Amino acid sequence: MANSASGESVIDRVVRLISAFPDGPGGLQLSELARRSGLPLTTAHRLVHQLAVHGLLETEPGGSVQLGLRLWELVNRNSPTLALRQAAMPFMEDIQQVLNQNVNLAVLDGWDALFVERLSRRGSVANRAKVAGRMPIHITSAGLALMAYQDKAVQAEYLDQFSDPAGQVTRDTVRALISETAHQGFAQLAGVVDPGTWGIAVPILDGRLRAVAALGVVVPLQEVRLQALVPVLQTAARGIARGLNDPNT
Here the contacts of 109-116 (C-beta below 8 Å, separation 24 or greater) are 109/134, 111/136, 111/137, 111/158, 111/161, 111/162, 112/136, 112/137, 112/143, 113/137, 113/140, 113/142, 113/143, 113/146, 113/214, 115/142, 116/81, 116/84, 116/85, 116/213
Structural domains in the chain, CATH included, are: 10-75 (1.10.10.10), 79-245 (3.30.450.40)
In this prediction, residue 246 carries a pLDDT of 66
Helix (H, G, I), strand (E, B) or coil at 14: helix
Q: Residue 143 in contact with residue 169, Cβ under 8 Å?
A: no
pTM: 0.78
Separation in Å, CA 115 to CA 30, 94, 184, 193, 216: 29, 19, 23, 15, 10
Question: Residue type at 2?
Answer: A
Separation in Å, CA 19 to CA 2, 57, 88, 130, 225: 20, 12, 27, 16, 39
**How many Å apart are CA 201 and CA 215, to the nearest integer?**
5
Q: Residue 44 in contact with residue 30, Cβ under 8 Å?
A: yes
CB atoms within 10 A of CB 134: 16
In this prediction, residue 225 carries a pLDDT of 76
For the chain, the C-alpha Rg in angstroms (whole number) is 20
In this prediction, residue 1 carries a pLDDT of 41
pLDDT in tens, the chain (249 residues): 444 555 689 999 999 999 998 877 778 999 999 999 999 999 999 999 999 999 999 998 888 999 998 888 887 776 778 889 999 999 999 998 888 788 999 999 999 999 999 998 765 656 667 777 899 999 999 999 999 999 999 999 999 999 998 888 999 999 999 999 999 999 999 877 777 888 999 999 999 999 999 999 988 877 767 778 899 999 999 999 999 886 554
